[in-house]
Structure 1
Amino acid sequence: MGRNDDALAALARDVPGEQPLAVLVAGYGTLMLENTLLTVTGIRALPEAEQQEAIEVFNGTLSGHQAELAAGFLHGWARSTGSGAQAVGYLARAVLQALLSFTDNGDDETEVRALFDFLRADALAHS
């Protein structure tokens, strides 16, 4: 195994009483996708008092339903994937690909960095 594989294997190790890494990756992915959707739909920019109503409206749309289904699939995959480093790696790549789908060009390193910088800052601001 390479250096990254060794690190992932250490992270993916099952420890009694802890959530498996796959479940944590799915939770992170769901949180980041929700934050990204709030941003791209303009809901995050609304006054806080108006955000809940806008979220309820969005959740009633086809896109909102699809986002809910995607999150459910992600969590189901996480629970069934096991704790192997390769399986967790596939799940993590799927999460990153979903996030990259919101950039104009997922191969553009500058856009990818900008997206991740924004998501990190947003997560820190709302945690």
Structure 2
Amino acid sequence: MAIIDEFEAPKSTQELPVSIQPNAAFFILFLSSTDPATKQPWCSDVRESLPLLNKVFSNPSSPAVHYSYVGSRAEYKEIPGSRFRADWDIQNVPTLARYERADGKVKETGRLVERELLDESRVRALLGV
């Protein structure tokens, strides 16, 4: 469907714009930011997984995905209380998370991290395509 780049993750999952329609899902792919010196993501796992993820999400039958960047290596790894670690429990990048509305609340209903994102069948299973 579409890749929405530069998605600014809100403070909490409850603020995500998840549809109230049954089985509606909202996907966020948490990625390392681009290193200004190399013009590449600073995380090697992100660099390795992006070609497959871009291919999968560029398919018209795939749902939309929101790319959210966790900041520089120092911001993400070295600053205590990084908002992505604290608010979103993102301990590894890349992380692809699926959110759905259940019982009136937005809940995470699936997650793949790091090398799991190199398995196209696992990615497609999480997406439901």
Q: Same fold (TM over 0.5)?
A: no
Q: Which has the higher strand share?
A: 2
With normalisation by structure 1, the TM-score equals: 0.25
More helix by share: 1
TM-score, structure 2 as length reference: 0.25
Which of the pair has more CA radius of gyration?
Answer: 1
